[in-house]
Structure 1
């Protein structure tokens, strides 16, 4: 079932879509995108304009800032070695009311690791068309609308059970003021919730993914001890079953 989104209006910033069950706004067919290597001709992603206005849609692929889990700032300088081997078409398109935008994402070079996932963001920015009267009188504030979807490139040969299987293999240890998560799997882990001794970790910290075959550290409050429970978001943005591990201090 498609999720319907309302436009947020924030001055001085590029607002994101706010998820709502409503008949107006934009509907997206996916919030998390998995690009299997087997799709040799690329994959598609779509959204529908349910508003009464036309939008100019700009679409592109962005790297992730792993210190925050958010898209990297556009101002970040990129060298030749930082080029993203993915392209999205069409990069620009007018989207009229009721029209569907379908994007094709395609791998342009075999430079990504083949033993683990890679992660990026698909960014889609919409600039609303100005009403004719407003364009004549001037003085109108036009706000761009941006949505960022995590996109995972998944090489061939990774375990079929995907994130659900990976969630069961995580290992946790408390080290001073941090909960350290070890991920031996080839999949990125995106937690929906983690608790230590029944106390939840802050959602902002959990934006940071646990890299494949690596680890991540999350801050914990003094005295947080006890059983660790966790759930992660799977390929369909659904929470996996709750997993538990008794406390393991290092």
Structure 2
């Protein structure tokens, strides 16, 4: 006797691309001091509606009270576009350097639920950077020349003596790409692991600018 088990699982996976799911109009948000608000668009090109939930966390991923986002929760109908507006509610942030926050946008497809269906929400997290007026005229090509690099064992360390967050697209040492690169906060040192025992060599890196693209490759010898 044959036992035939038919299991039908419908998984709806929301992917943030141009041809599937909600399209978010940017990869980062810059909030210049003095702005009334800034906004980022969310577009639904699909034939089904989505529930959009958004919130802002501080750089440690905790609750914060500096910013408010509206609307925090809404329905985005099919083939419609809306905007998330971000307001600075209490300006007690440093005026000599950037401050990092995280903007979170969760999208849930509003499909019909059945007994054998599973819905998967997708969350996008991007940087929200507050930029004071004193440093608003940023030239990343020039600023990254101030980065100081060193190596100790299997650690590459970058000393960021600028007031800006240096977001790395890539870092390599002697042609070997360093995995899991992230960013260097203002006026701090940040280390990354590299699988190379050489004491000296050439470091190459790319910085992501305000528009989400990488500037030209820079390099230095240590």
- TM, length-normalised to structure 2: 0.87
Q: 1:190 maps to which residue?
A: 167
2:155 alignment counterpart:
178
Tell me, yes or no, if structure 1 residue 33 matches structure 2 residue 7: no
Who is 1:111 aligned against? 92
Match of 2:117 in 1: 140
Instruction: Check conservation: 2:170, 2:177, Cα contact below 8 A.
Output: yes
Q: Distance in 2 between matches of 1:108 and 1:242?
A: 38
Matching of residue 86 in structure 1 with residue 58 in structure 2: no
Instruction: State whether residues 49 and 99 of structure 1, in contact with CA within 8 Å, keep that contact through their aligned partners in structure 2.
Output: yes
What is the distance in 1 between the residues matched to 2:89 and 2:38? 13
Higher alpha-carbon Rg: 2
RMSD: 2.0
Q: What does 1:3-18 align with in structure 2 at a 5 Å threshold? A: 9=13, 17-18=15-16
Q: 2:221 is matched with which residue?
A: 246
Matched, 1:213 2:180: no
Among 137, 144, 163, the alignment partner of 1:160 is: 137
Q: 1:159 to 1:169 in 2, by over 3 A?
A: farther
Q: CA deviation at 1:8?
A: 7.7
- The answer for unaligned runs of 5 or more in structure 2 is 1-10
Structure-2 change in CA distance of 1:192 and 1:45 (3 Å): same
SS in 2 for 1:190: strand
Which has the larger share of strand?
A: 2
Kindly tell me the number of residue pairs found equivalent between the two proteins.
211
2:162 maps to 1:169:
no
SS in 2 for 1:236: coil
Q: Secondary structure at the match of 1:165?
A: helix
2:44 equivalent in structure 1: 49
8 Å contact kept, 1:117–1:186:
yes
What SS is found at the alignment partner of 2:143? Answer: helix
Residue 130 of structure 2: SS of its match in structure 1?
Answer: strand
* 1:128-186 deviation per Cα after TM superposition (whole angstroms, max 9, x unaligned): 2132xx3xx43421211211111111011105134333222111011222111011110
